[in-house]
Every structure is written in structure tokens, then in C-alpha cells.
Chains A and B, each alone.
Chain A
Amino acid sequence: MKFAILVNEGPFNHQASDSAYQFVKAALAKGHQIFRVFFYYDGVYNASKLSEPPTDDRNVVANWGKLAEEHKLDLVVCVAAALRRGIKDENLAPGFRISGLGQLIEAGIQADRLVTFGD
């Protein structure tokens, strides 16, 4: 099955991005496809390469990037939400790309299920 994932909250402040990450890993392990992971609202902060968590904690931003590399995931950050919050190409973490909201709607159309994480 093809899943689309929507992440609406930033890293660390909320668990949403971690939950989405665990869901995506579990879905991939079951042989499902991840059509796209879309980051909206404060979720765009998951794509900041300026994030530097303490070394004894998980690195949410880097973990998404690694998972994307391993599984050729399409991690898309909403341009309008990102610009509002100061996420731009110059501080975009590896593995992410910035694009329009149409990418979310397209994911909703193309995927079999859209699963949302976070408020």
C-alpha cells in the first residue's frame, strides 16, 4: 500500500515527528511504500540543518535525512509555511526539498492513505 505522511509539529517540542518516523520505519519494514512525507505548520522545523541536539539524544532532523537516503523517501517542506518560519534552501537539511502545498494535495490523491502526525 502507498502511504502519504503529514508532519505538523516541530522536532523535540512535540513527539509527532518521532511518531511519524517510527510509523514510516514500521510501514517500510512491512513492505509498504511511502509516497511522500510532507512537513507543514511548525513541522517545517524538522528540516532545519541548524538543529544541533545534545549528542546523547536522538537527532530528529538527521534521522529523517538518513531514512530518506536509505529508502529514497521524498521529504517535502511546504514553501509558504517554511518562509514564514525562516526555513529556506540555505538552511535546509540534506534529504529534504522545499515545494508547494500542491505536493500535499497530490500525495493525498495518489497515496492510498494519508496519515497525519501532530497538531
Chain B
Amino acid sequence: MEEDMEAGVVKKFMYVNRKQPYGTVYALEVLEMVLISAAFDQDVHLVFTDDGVLQLKKGMDTAAIGMKNFSKTYRALEGYDIEKLYVDQESLDERGLSEDDLLVDVQVVSRAEMAKLMDDMDVILTA
């Protein structure tokens, strides 16, 4: 706590990812925000819900669409002390996916649990 006080304000930031990668730029540009907020020593939470769960799908191969595969960045988040990743079970179910389809360790929660977590945040950035 004392360390937090000295270092300045630590807020609970949540990034809510609701879109697939590649079809729009949001997933990539959210990652850029996430990496910057790590540099500010904030309490970062990443949520993947709705189509956002597809950002974490294993086995992406973007060669034929001519775009950079940035899914490796999700694996690198741990190195930035970003370890609070959440996926809701309902969004996986809706898309015929399971936890085994995901390329990083996440906490799979219910929508109700995700809603509670969201209520507790100070700053929420959604895309």
C-alpha cells in the first residue's frame, strides 16, 4: 500500500474486448493501449466477451490475408505483469468454443461474475 502511495494513483483499468481480430483494427489498437497502461503501473484487467473471445483463438494464420498475426502479443502480456485475463463462458458457448481453444491462460467466468468485476472498475475502455 505504501509503495502504491509513493508511486502515485493506482486505478483499476479494464479493457473490454468485444470484436474479432483482423476484421477491424480494434483488437490491435486495444493491445497498444494495454501495453502503455502497464508502463503506468495500473491495475489492468482484460476482458474478452462477445466476439472478443476470438482474439484469443489458437492457431491463427494470417499469411493469406496479408496482415500481421499479433496473437503472440497476448502471450507476451505476462511479461508486462498483465495477468488478469477474463473470458465469459457464455460467449465461448455461443461461438462453439471452449477454454482449450484459447492460446493463453485465462479465468473463465460467468457473465454474472464478469458483470460484478466490471462494476468494481475505475476506468473502462471498450472496443
Which A residues lie within 8 Å of B13 (CB)? 105, 108
Which B residues lie within 8 Å of A8 (CB)? 127
Q: How many residues of B sit at the interface, in one of the four size bands? A: 20 to 34
Decide if B20 is an interface residue (CB 8 Å cutoff): no
Decide if B89 is an interface residue (CB 8 Å cutoff): no
Decide if A87 is an interface residue (CB 8 Å cutoff): no
| Interface residues of A, Cβ cutoff 8 Å to B | 6, 8, 40-41, 80-81, 84, 100-102, 104-106, 108-110, 114, 116, 119
Bound Cα distance from A80 to B28, whole angstroms: 12
Decide if B40 is an interface residue (CB 8 Å cutoff): yes
Which A residues lie within 8 Å of B126 (CB)? 116
Can you list, as one digit per residue, whether each of B82-124 has a CB less than 8 Å from chain A (1) or not (0)?
Answer: 0000000000000000000000000000000000000000111
Decide if B76 is an interface residue (CB 8 Å cutoff): no
Which A residues lie within 8 Å of B26 (CB)? 41, 119
Check B11 against A101 for contact (C-beta < 8 Å).
no
Which A residues lie within 8 Å of B33 (CB)? 40, 101, 104-105
Check A109 against B32 for contact (C-beta < 8 Å).
no
Closest to B33 in A: A101
Those 9 A-B pairs whose CB atoms lie nearest each other, nearest first: A108-B123, A101-B36, A105-B37, A105-B40, A114-B123, A109-B9, A102-B36, A105-B36, A109-B11
Which B residues lie within 8 Å of A41 (CB)? 25-26, 29, 127
Which B residues lie within 8 Å of A108 (CB)? 11, 13, 37, 42, 122-123, 125
Task: Choose from A6, A40, A106 the contact partner of B29 (Cβ within 8 Å).
Answer: A40
Which B residues lie within 8 Å of A106 (CB)? 40
Q: A106, A109, A119: which has the most chain B beta carbons within 10 Å?
A: A109
Bound Cα distance from A113 to B120, whole angstroms: 14
Check B42 against A105 for contact (C-beta < 8 Å).
yes
Which B residues lie within 8 Å of A119 (CB)? 26, 127
Which B residues lie within 8 Å of A6 (CB)? 125
Check A116 against B36 for contact (C-beta < 8 Å).
no
29 CB < 8 A contacts A-B: A40-B33, A41-B25, A41-B26, A80-B32, A102-B36, A102-B40, A104-B33, A105-B33, A105-B36, A105-B37, A105-B40, A105-B42, A106-B40, A108-B11, A108-B37, A108-B42, A108-B122, A108-B123, A108-B125, A109-B8, A109-B9, A109-B11, A109-B123, A114-B124, A114-B125, A116-B125, A116-B126, A119-B26, A119-B127
